[in-house]
Chain A
């Protein structure tokens, strides 16, 4: 069990640029979640995948945000035309379907985005 990994760990970008983050879940986990955490707040749900299907998106996820999970393995989160308000920690988590009750979700270390 290598855990959930995220890349990069830190990203500094200028306003208006596009950025892409990657998440590799625990290999046997079929559910993958993206959350966003800003200073002084708990993580907020953005979107989730079951296998390769994106089944729910939060209202927080504007049209500038897109997420994919090709082949139901790793996932990418892209932010187009970044704004300063996008600065946050982006967290990825994975779980087995029905496993949250028993094992919880496993979180990665996060990608800290700073938009200047």
Chain B
């Protein structure tokens, strides 16, 4: 069975700082990888995804993530964060076949200080 680790539980940054959130997964086969975001009071929204091709994927709101297969990692990055990026971020994985159920990490709470 697959699993996802997010080692940063709570990250606090000042506006304009650069962001990198770690995500490592465990699975022996081909996977699809996702980052979801949950803004305060809102439901989970897809931020970006990787399923094949260029390992550097760009998502909404200036976020990007890089899939490094050899490291089983899919870290999320943003060069300059804004106060509005305050949210909870979840990394998720699904095998590249079958029922496509998502396995999520425990999430990283990001707090941006104005």
Contacts and interface: CB of A to CB of B under 8 A. Distances in A.
Interface in A41-72: 41-45, 48, 50, 55-56
A101 B90 contact: no
B92 A101 contact: no
Interface of B: 4, 6, 32, 34, 36, 42-46, 49, 51-52, 90, 92, 94, 96, 99-107
B102 A43 contact: yes
A42 B105 contact: yes
* A contact residues, range: 20 to 34
Interface stretch (A15-23, A80-88, A103-111): A103-111
Contacts of B105: 42
Contacts of B106: 40-42
B43 A110 contact: yes
8 contacts: A42-B90, A43-B102, A43-B104, A45-B103, A98-B100, A101-B52, A103-B46, A106-B46
Interface of A: 31, 33, 35, 40-45, 48, 50, 55-56, 91, 93, 95, 98, 100-110
Given A42-B104, A44-B104, A48-B99, A100 B44 contact: no
